[in-house]
A and B are shown apart, each in its own frame.
Chain A
Amino acid sequence: MHFPVRWSPEWNEERWMGQLLILPMQLLIWFVLIVPMLIVIYLSLVSWQPIMGVDWWQAPFAGLSNYVQALQDQRFLTALGRTMGLVLVAVSLEFLLGLALALFFHQEEFPGKRIVASILLYPMMLPWVVVGLCFYLLFLDKGPVNYILISLFGPDASVQWYQNPLLALMTIALADIWQWTPFMFLVIYSGLGALPPEPVEAAMTLGASRWEIFRYIVFPMLKPVMLIALIIRALEAFKIFDLVYIMTGGGPGTSTESLSLYLYRTGFIYGQLSYAAAMALLVLILIALVARLAVRPLEREL
């Protein structure tokens, strides 16, 4: 950041204009971000529910008991672990599929390539709830997926997807993979297109194999782009709520409940806002730590 002093004789005026320009954004950030963050810290330290009859600023002090409760809450810890597992599985598969597709599109020439590429992109635009609805309808007991299974493997192959915790979780992961593999494809494909051609050409002249070119030339050059895509996608996938809400509602039981869904229920269905605030803060701290670690290799690269 620098002040373009040579730009004009009185930089005070420029500074004033700069401050004025960022003012609306700062006001909004204070209103919807910083003040709420202070409130969430306060809430997590008191014991308050909307039905208690006292106003939230008069709630009794509770110390760290909300945090202690959260760390002993099986449902919270399970939802956290489940969400992280889902992120790990879905995002890795999205990455691998996206990378494979990007390499395929980068290397192959075929008529209609641009059209196919733009068809590939549309799932990202769809509202999450609509993707959830689509996949919910696909995996119904009498839905098309079971029909395909039955016609391939006989009448016993039909599966009750939403009755089994693991299978239900799988349908959610599939929906996420379907919607977001295009994102990985898009970012990596455009990253490939932006690489300078010379190193690859030089390696080819020297007789490097395809794998060697990918492993030692393309992959290292592409690493920053892939890291950015992975970090953004993982943070986004961790928020998962809409798909679970629409497809399984967290069921059967609470066996597919994601972290966001559990927090939503605690705070807004069961009305335990203080407890939800404490859990939310724990999640914020966790994400900040993970993000810090994830950005470190990126800083080295850039």
Chain B
Amino acid sequence: MPGRAWTSGLTRWGVVLIVILITLAPVVWVLSLSFKPPQEWLAYPPTLIPRQPTLENYLVLFWPGNPVGVVSEMVRTAEPVTRAFINSLIIVPISTALSIVIGFLAAYGISRFGAGGNFLPFSVLTTRMFPPIAFAVPLLVYYRSLGLIDTHLGLILMYTTFTLAFSLWMIKGFIDGIPRHIEEAAILDGASRWRVMFTITLPLIRGGLAAAALFVFIMNWTEFLFALIFTSRFAVTLPVQVSRYAGAVGRYYGPQAALGIVASIPVLIAGYLIQRYLVRAFTFGLVK
């Protein structure tokens, strides 16, 4: 409805400003906290710009008990987050890649050959419909018998399966968008169907695949419940470490804030890159 002015210029800018402020404020506060020395964490009145900015909160995350500063003295006993960081960097990319590869193959089979009928693509959606805790109960029993508790493989299997709904439906949307006659032409020229799939269709949806991969990456990177239940020491991921760090160092808000920022940076970058695919991603391709 263009043309008519809905509000005066001043109100309009007021609305925009308030929206930006509310959206940014919580994270700006935590960002500022992450650069504050201990005496400023709960200082009253609170300071938005740290009076004595410090990097110590970040330093102790990876090197607790390092010889410099007061914070390291406080969190000497805390476990460094390095292991959780590396675990996330192992588990998340592998399960993301698996989810995309398996999702692509299945999406192609469903889109082009109607494999699995109507039932299969919808049954995959149930993994996102029900609370994950309902799956966690039987999986624990199962994983104990198989020795998959607190292993990378255990989490990778879960993360791959529980993001298949996204990769399958997103990629299926992209494949459905490629006209069949392109593939048919190649078949007439004598290419095998496998070859058509990999050398004609796959390159055409490259951008979509990348977007799906980044979205699945975000989903896996931020996953908390399964990681909390199925890991204890060896395979903990970053979100679990965030929650655990709060417990381990008590009221040491500075390092907590720093860890929150560190854990968010990869997903913020990924999210920024796939902005225009987000609607598709979050709605399983139902809204484009």
**Residues of A bordering B, CB below 8 Å:** 1-4, 7-8, 13-15, 17-22, 24-26, 28-29, 31-33, 35-37, 39-40, 43, 50, 56, 101, 104, 106-110, 116, 118-131, 133-135, 137-138, 140, 142-144, 147, 151, 178, 182-183, 186-187, 190-191, 194, 200, 204, 210, 213, 225, 228-229, 232, 235, 238-239, 241-242, 245-246, 259-260, 263-264, 267-268, 273, 276-277, 280-281, 283-284, 287, 291
Contact = CB atoms under 8 A, between A and B. Distances in A.
B287 A225 contact: yes
B61 interface: no
Contacts of B222: 125-129
Contact of B112 (A18, A26, A35, A50): A18
B111 to A, nearest CB: 10
Q: Is the interface of B mostly helix, strand, loop or mixed?
A: helix
Given A22-B116, A33-B127, A125-B267, A228 B286 contact: yes
Interface in B247-288: 253, 256-257, 260, 263-264, 267-268, 270-272, 275, 278-279, 282-284, 286-288
B24 to A, nearest CB: 7
Contacts of A194: 288
Given A125-B218, A246-B246, 13 more contacts: A4-B113, A7-B180, A18-B115, A25-B103, A56-B145, A104-B6, A108-B6, A121-B278, A123-B23, A125-B271, A127-B267, A133-B30, A133-B256
Interface in B1-18: 1-2, 4, 6-7, 12-13, 15-16
Contacts of A39: 138, 141-142
Interface of B: 1-2, 4, 6-7, 12-13, 15-16, 19-20, 22-24, 26-27, 29-30, 33, 42, 44-46, 102-103, 105-106, 108-110, 112-118, 120, 123-124, 126-142, 144-145, 157-158, 160-162, 164, 168, 180, 184, 187, 193-194, 218, 221-222, 224-225, 228-229, 238-239, 242-243, 246, 253, 256-257, 260, 263-264, 267-268, 270-272, 275, 278-279, 282-284, 286-288
24 contacts: A2-B114, A18-B114, A19-B109, A33-B126, A33-B135, A119-B20, A122-B27, A122-B268, A129-B239, A130-B242, A134-B30, A147-B44, A186-B278, A190-B279, A190-B287, A239-B132, A245-B228, A260-B132, A260-B225, A267-B136, A268-B136, A280-B134, A281-B134, A287-B131
Contacts of B120: 22, 25-26
A25 B164 contact: yes
B33 A137 contact: yes
A277 B141 CA distance: 11
- Ranked nearest first, the 3 interchain pairs of A and B with the lowest CB-CB distance are A21-B109, A18-B113, A18-B115
Given A125-B268, A129-B242, A245-B243, A134 B29 contact: yes
A134 B133 contact: no
Contacts of B7: 108
A35 B2 CA distance: 55
Contact of A25 (B19, B168, B193, B218): B168
Given A24-B102, A134-B29, A187-B283, A32 B161 contact: yes
Contacts of A281: 134
A191 B287 contact: yes
Contact of A140 (B13, B24, B42, B288): B42
Contact of B242 (A29, A110, A133, A138): A133
B110 A22 contact: yes
Contacts of B224: 127-129, 241-242, 245
A299 B115 CA distance: 24
B115 A133 contact: no
A37 B135 CA distance: 7
Given A43-B141, A108-B7, A123-B23, A264 B133 contact: yes
A186 B145 CA distance: 44
Contacts of B260: 129-130, 133-134
